[in-house]
């Protein structure tokens, strides 16, 4: 197993490099980079000041006809701006260097776990990630735990009572929960229980109330739990359906195998057969997939939930960075998400061997 883990760890490096390289190449062809964003802000401020002071109200703005006025710039929005201003913006953002040089500098920083500084927030990307991480971990951890606590017992019960009224009824509920988009269910919860139109039972913004830092410990715990109710329910509704059906199908497959028939023929109690023989084999893929499921909910499923419930987490950070073309934040979060995802895949493989010691990845050819 040690040799297999070392090989997988070594494969992380080229995989991570390939993912970053492809995304960096795609971004180079995407319109509206950070330089264009800053030029648009400068022009917007200039237009606003002109309107406020009344300048140019009764005259026609001259159109630039020379490079000195920005007419020859590669940025369409730079027309009319001093070329030195555009060059200064490029130098500030590092875009005065060729793409391959910027890519090499970015990789060198990532090798030292230096993610750079945000282009528009002027803060280290690591500080932004650490600041937003508790929100995303709270959402991912609690929703994943509740999904497993609901799905595994429900899936086992459905497998034992396959074809009964209980199985059909719960299947209908599961399918309805799977069919409703998470963001739509989040809006419904806000309208019903967060002061939208009916009840004001739950808070809508953040994970804690304003001024809760001075509250007693248990009051702060209760306040945190109360804020987590609606976002967690939203993620649970959208995530428990697939795991429930996977648990049921895994148990049904194991229940119909010969070793179960043999155990029953020897007079073993049904509970002993179910939890002493079937459980470990049926739960192999489910328990081993917990790290990957947590990463999936942590970084992919919570974006719209964070936006709707005004939770300032990693999903919202990445979304705002993409909108503003804050490339250092975009690539920094991509680097962290990809690295954690690759490591969690290795953790999943290791979990397989813990659940079932008979699995030996070294013997695979």
Mean pLDDT, residues 321-335 taken together: 85
**Does residue 48 have a pLDDT over 50?**
no
Instruction: Write the Ramachandran bin of 325: left for phi over 0, alpha for psi from -120 to 50, otherwise beta.
Output: left
Mean pLDDT, residues 71-77 taken together: 56
List 311's β-bridge partners, or say none.
Answer: none
Task: Tell me what the pLDDT averaged over the chain comes to.
Answer: 77
Q: What is the per-residue pLDDT for 78?
A: 59
**Does residue 226 have a pLDDT over 60?**
yes
Q: What is the per-residue pLDDT for 363?
A: 58
pLDDT-wise least confident of 40-54, 89-103, 174-188: 40-54
pLDDT tens-digit series, residues 76-121: 555 656 677 777 777 777 777 888 888 898 889 888 888 888 888 8
All structural domains of the chain: 34-51+64-114 (no CATH), 125-363 (1.10.3720.10)
**Does residue 310 have a pLDDT over 50?**
yes
Mean pLDDT, residues 15-20 taken together: 90
Q: What is the per-residue pLDDT for 340?
A: 82
Q: 51: pLDDT confidence band, cut at 50, 70 and 90?
A: very low
pLDDT-wise least confident of 86-100, 124-138, 158-172, 221-235: 86-100
**Does residue 63 have a pLDDT over 60?**
no
Share of the chain above pLDDT 90, in %: 2
Q: What is the per-residue pLDDT for 365?
A: 52
Q: What is the per-residue pLDDT for 220?
A: 85
pLDDT tens-digit series, residues 115-154: 888 888 888 999 988 888 888 888 888 888 888 888 888 8
Share of the chain above pLDDT 70, in %: 81
Q: What is the per-residue pLDDT for 300?
A: 58
Mean pLDDT, residues 63-88 taken together: 56
């Amino acid at each position: 197993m040690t040799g297999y883990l070392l090989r997988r760890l070594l494969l992380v490096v080229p995989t991570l490099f390939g993912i970053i390289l492809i995304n960096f190449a795609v971004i180079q062809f995407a319109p509206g980079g950070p330089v264009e964003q800053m030029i648009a802000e400068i022009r917007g401020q200039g237009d606003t000041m002109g309107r406020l002071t009344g300048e140019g109200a009764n005259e026609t703005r001259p159109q630039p006809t020379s490079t000195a006025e920005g007419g020859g710039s590669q940025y369409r929005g730079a027309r009319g701006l001093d070329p030195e201003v555009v060059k200064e913006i490029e130098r500030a953002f590092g875009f005065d260097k060729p793409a391959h040089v910027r890519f090499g500098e970015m990789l060198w920083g990532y090798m030292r776990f230096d993610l750079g500084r945000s282009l528009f927030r002027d803060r280290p990307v690591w500080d932004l990630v650490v600041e937003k991480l508790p929100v995303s971990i709270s959402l991912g951890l609690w929703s994943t735990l509740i999904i497993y606590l609901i799905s595994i017992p429900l899936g086992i019960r459905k497998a034992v009572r396959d074809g009964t009224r209980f199985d059909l009824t719960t299947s209908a509920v599961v399918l309805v929960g799977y069919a409703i988009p998470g963001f739509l269910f989040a809006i419904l919860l806000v309208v019903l229980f967060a002061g939208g139109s009916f009840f004001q039972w739950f808070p809508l913004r953040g994970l804690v109330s304003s001024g809760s830092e001075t509250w007693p410990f248990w009051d702060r715990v209760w306040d945190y739990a109360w804020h987590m109710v609606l976002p967690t329910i939203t993620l649970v509704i959208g995530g428990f359906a697939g795991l429930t059906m996977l648990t049921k199908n895994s148990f049904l497959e194991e229940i119909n195998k010969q070793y179960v028939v043999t155990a029953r023929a020897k007079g073993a109690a049904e509970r002993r057969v179910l939890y002493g023989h079937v459980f470990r084999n049926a739960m192999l893929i489910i328990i081993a997939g917990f790290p990957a499921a947590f990463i999936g909910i942590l970084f992919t499923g919570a974006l719209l939930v964070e936006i709707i419930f005004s939770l300032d987490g990693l999903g919202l950070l990445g979304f705002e960075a993409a909108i503003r073309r804050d490339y250092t934040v975009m690539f920094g979060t991509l680097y962290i998400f990809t690295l954690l995802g690759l490591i969690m895949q290795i953790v999943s493989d290791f979990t397989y061997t813990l659940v079932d010691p008979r699995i030996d990845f070294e013997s695979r050819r």
